[in-house]
Amino acid sequence: MTTEPSGSADLPGTFAYTWDLVGDPAAAERTASLGVGAVVLQAAYHSVRAMTPHHPVHRTVHATHAAAYFPLDPHQWRGSRLRPSSPSWAVDTPDRFGTAASALRSQGLRVEAWLVLTHSTAAGERAPDLTVCNAFDERYGYALCPAQPEVRAYATQLVRSFCERYDAVEVPALMLEACGWLGFEHGSHHEKTAGADLSRGCRDLLSVCLCAACRTGIEAAGADPTAVARTVRRTVDAEMREGVRAPGTLAESLGERAAEALLRHRQSVIESLTRQIAAVAPGREILLMADADPQTTGPDSGLDLGGFGGRATAFVLKCWGDENRAVTLLKEAVRDSTRPVIANVSVLDEHPDELAGRVARLRAAGAQTIRYYHAGLASPARLRALRAANAREAVRAMTEATTPTAEGAA
């Protein structure tokens, strides 16, 4: 048994849900056969309806609320308004994470815990005053606001509970999703917001949280939150009702000074949350899902990657969608970031046959490694594309290792 788990972070990996593995004796071997060395395994996750194309028993899973996929000790949560729920659709195996993780480790795979922190409608319903509140005083029940100390305490306790159950040799890394604000974008199955044709700028304004804690934070950072709220309302209404497009950046909408104060407030809260989490996760790598645009809210926290003063071993950057754009964004993130950048690549994108080329370009652009999204959701054809991309990367890595003067793959 090794006590030095890091280093293998460079191996390519894939995301997986616990239900992709639990109850399927062939799943871990099938995952290893993709050529990955690591699996980002669901430990705490929001609601989802997922296909399970490879599972021998079920075809779909409907996780109707956010849940933790490891046993919870009720004593640890006594007195907290926010607490994770157990998955009522999966009562057969209480330790689903541990069961799936053991199977993956038996195939020599490194296990990373996938923890979604501030996205939980179930938790938001228990404490509506801790959810994101837009400038119209409307709450986003699916989004807990991390400026609220109770929310940071909840996220930290979630990680502490996890780390007390699984040691750092078993699970050397934590991948943190929604370690900041979810904004206006929800992406739920029943979303009916697209027809308003809101611009990016308008959606970013609707994503500005003005709850009591954020008002205090924005003020401390040097802006007047009441003035910010007024400007947001005016600009959003002008677009929604009169068709006057909101400017693209918060600096243009709110003014440089207010926008800088808002982003400073956000960055400082996220830094503080990662420090709190790192303190209860000694010896673990913190892989932080991030977006290099500080204006962004969502599962990937918008950050100034170069100025980040929190705790992160690496940033995980979503490289989905248009390939040229993804490569450019990754290149810029690698240039600006003080930490390694891992590329989150979707196997579910439109052209799986182009996956190998995309991965090669992202690696050449400086990605430390790849995390493929997502082994459980992908059809057999998409898994073949994933396997082929990995095989091509393995050849490239071997060529590089044996010919140190080679210039690497294009």
Residue 49: count other Cβ atoms within 10 Å of its Cβ.
Answer: 10
Alpha-carbon span 109 to 154, nearest angstrom:
30
Q: Beta partners for 315?
A: 288, 341
Three-state DSSP class for residue 191: coil
| Residue 132 or 367 having the CB closest to Zn ion | 132
Are 324 and 351 in contact, with CB atoms under 8 Å apart?
Answer: no
Q: How far is the CB of 183 from Zn ion (least distance, A)?
A: 11
Whose tokens are 């009702």? That residue is 241
List Cβ neighbours of 144 (8 Å cut-off, separation of 6 or more): 82, 117, 118, 119, 120, 123, 124, 127, 130, 131, 132, 151, 154
Q: How far is the CB of 145 from Zn ion (least distance, A)?
A: 3
Q: How far is the CB of 36 from Zn ion (least distance, A)?
A: 37
Interface residues toward Zn ion, by CB under 5 A = 145, 147, 209, 211, 214
| Residue 146 or 376 having the CB closest to Zn ion | 146
Are 15 and 114 in contact, with CB atoms under 8 Å apart?
Answer: yes
Enclosing H/E stretch for 34:
none
| Residue 211 or 288 having the CB closest to Zn ion | 211
Enclosing H/E stretch for 173:
strand 173-177
| Residue 122 or 147 having the CB closest to Zn ion | 147
Q: How far is the CB of 42 from Zn ion (least distance, A)?
A: 27
Q: How far is the CB of 40 from Zn ion (least distance, A)?
A: 28
| Residue 35 or 310 having the CB closest to Zn ion | 310
| Residue 132 or 175 having the CB closest to Zn ion | 132
Are 21 and 54 in contact, with CB atoms under 8 Å apart?
Answer: no
Residue 197: count other Cβ atoms within 10 Å of its Cβ.
Answer: 11
| Residue 173 or 259 having the CB closest to Zn ion | 259
- Whole-Å CA distances, 46 to 186, 238, 243, 250: 11, 34, 34, 29
Supply the Cα-derived Rg of the chain in whole angstroms: 21
- Whole-Å CA distances, 275 to 134, 270, 312: 27, 9, 9
Q: How far is the CB of 211 from Zn ion (least distance, A)?
A: 3
233 burial type by CB count under 10 A (0-12 exposed, 13-18 middle, 19+ buried): middle
Look at strands 48-51 and 173-177 and give their pairing. unpaired
Q: How far is the CB of 181 from Zn ion (least distance, A)?
A: 7
| Residue 39 or 211 having the CB closest to Zn ion | 211
Q: How far is the CB of 331 from Zn ion (least distance, A)?
A: 33
Three-state DSSP class for residue 119: strand
